[in-house]
Each structure stands twice: as structure tokens, then as C-alpha cells.
Amino acid sequence: MILNMAPPRSLNQLLPGQIATIGAINAEDQICERMAALGLRRGRRISVIRRARMNGPIQIRVGTTDLMIRRSEAARIGILPATTAT
């Protein structure tokens, strides 16, 4: 049986108002440490607040903290659907 599963998604693909759970951060150790210091860790719920035009940064919310991150950084954050969040 073949299941029609969507490919893994990354944070840069979420639209404003969508919520997901961080599944993985695919980056070098230094970037992973910086993201962890900002609260971006595996298992955390994350939501997109807004996206700047012309490939500008993305405003996200992790817990009660709002952050602006580059789209290239958001592309390194693998997400899971919010329905699998704990």
C-alpha cells in the first residue's frame, strides 16, 4: 500500500497564522547553538506571525517570544504538523 504523504516541510513554507512543531534543525553546530539560545529547539511549538515582502525575514513566535529570522535560516528548520504536537 502506498500512502500519499506530503514531503517534509520547513518553517519557511508556513503561512502567517499556521502553527507547527519543530522537528529538526539542519544546520552547522554554531547555528544550531544560536537557534537553541533563541528558544528554537526540537519539540517546541512555533507559529508564523507575518512574512516580509521581497524575500525579507519571517516573524515567528516561540512560546511568548517573537523573533525575526532570515528565510534561509527558516529553511533549515524542519517542522511537523501541529496535530502531532505534545
Structure confidence at residue 82 as a pLDDT band (50, 70, 90): confident
pLDDT at site 84: 47
pLDDT at site 8: 56
Q: What is the pLDDT of residues 27-71, one digit of tens each?
A: 999 999 999 999 999 999 999 999 999 989 999 999 999 999 999
DSSP 20-77: EEEEEE-S-HHHHHHHHHTT--TT-EEEEEEE-TTT--EEEEETTEEEEE-HHHHTTE
Q: For the full predicted model, state whether its pTM sits above 0.85.
A: no
What are the structural domains, with CATH classification, of the chain? 9-84 (2.30.30.90)
Q: What is the pLDDT of residues 12-29, one digit of tens each?
A: 999 999 999 999 999 999
